[in-house]
Amino acid sequence: MKIPFLVLSFVLQCCFGSSLFHPLDPLNPTEIDQIRHIIEKSHLGSLPNLAFHFVDVEEPDKQDVLKWLSYKEIKPNRQAKVVIRARGKTYELIVDLTIGSIISNQVYSGYGYPPLTFSELLRASKLPLKYPKFKKSILRRGLNLSEVSCVPFTIGWFGERVTKRTLKVACFYRGGSVNVFARPIQGISVLVDVDSMKITMYTDRLRAPVPKAEGTDFQSPKGKHNSTTCNITNGGFTIEGQNVEWGNWNFHVGFNARAGVIISTASIFDDRKRKFRRVLYRGHVSETFVPYMDPTSEWYYRTFMDIGEFGFGRTADTLQPFYDCPGNAAFIDGYMVGADGQAQKLPRAICIFERYAGDVAWRHTEIIVPGKVEHIKPTTYLKD
């Protein structure tokens, strides 16, 4: 006997219904615009080079949410947590959308810095391509600069004294392959000061052969995908806004830039007690840790914390029907916030479908392969 199970899928971007009816609903574009207007009209709006680094729902207390779920009467005030940066300072704000004002404003004085914006990462990735010393390094290796892509990486913490927002940029050779990470250009280290957006350290300590391109050109097949992993079954579920009902299950689906897909307030109907029993208040991937374990100067810092440093939501991609999700899938669009405070739409951020057995996810994409990615608003810069 085949037992169906429900799958929520997204490729490592939020979603909102026609009306706000759950305290944990993600921010919709109207609310995002309201947040931006509130901040711009405050004294913070006059700060130079103001940038939005994080905007998400400020979750109400758990007991208030559970009380609302039980009685559907008093809804907690709708609030947002906002992290902005200007004049070299990081501001943590709580914006109350119900009353339309900033109710908390603190300058962050602890260790670390706010999440990097997409525009910062993109600008940093292009700095080496215009840097004279880097151009000479590429020429000495006999490589074509137009086939080079660079990727900004967070530097981690390995005992160094870090007093500025910095990135390290590594570069790869695309020639002959779309699998850009298969062809690293070894021996070069580039340190970037993010606030000034300048290269502050550059070393070229060795020249090693670039790995060959043969056997690395992995791409998804053209046309409609007929993989058995996308078998079609009956839908078996209903979606109202962010709430999903499936069999004897009822749960809320959310999404944010940090955690990606979030399942919350999940309940299952208890036949013996004849009522719903709560089994999960909030669940999401907490972190993925990818240590490369290479002690050389160009590699030791590459110990990625994918959620804490980059964000699962920020690295999500639009799901493709019949490739990522079967024909019976329901899709939910996503909304996040750019550095300018504007809402950014990601079509088909999440898909939900009922299926039997098989592998769920098999596709992977990169933002540094020119012309290969349809992404949220900042994609226009990728065509440079």
Report pLDDT digits (tens) over 35-72.
999 999 999 999 999 999 999 999 999 999 998 888 77
Specify the range with the lowest mean pLDDT, choosing from 85-99, 193-207, 209-223. Answer: 209-223
At 178 the pLDDT is: 82
CB-based contact 321:379 (threshold 8 Å): no
* Cα→Cα distances 246→6, 238, 268, Å: 8, 7, 10
**H or E stretch covering 37:** helix 29-41
Mean per-residue pLDDT for 230-236? 60
The answer to whether residue 227 scores a pLDDT higher than 50 is no
60 secondary structure, DSSP code:
P
CB-based contact 6:68 (threshold 8 Å): no
The answer to whether residue 382 scores a pLDDT higher than 60 is no
Indicate the class that CATH gives domain 118-204: alpha beta
CB-based contact 311:258 (threshold 8 Å): yes
- What are the domain boundaries of the chain? 118-204
pLDDT-above-70 percentage for the chain: 82
**Dist CA 8 CA 70 (whole Å):** 26
**Dist CA 352 CA 5 (whole Å):** 11
The pair phi, psi for residue 55, each rounded to 5°, is -140, 125
The answer to whether residue 19 scores a pLDDT higher than 50 is no
Q: How many CA atoms lie within 13 A of 320 on its CB side?
A: 17
Alpha carbon distance, N-terminus to C-terminus of the chain: 54
Mean per-residue pLDDT for 292-303? 88
**Dist CA 237 CA 127 (whole Å):** 49
Report pLDDT digits (tens) over 303-361.
877 777 788 888 888 998 888 888 888 999 889 999 999 999 989 999 998 876 555 55
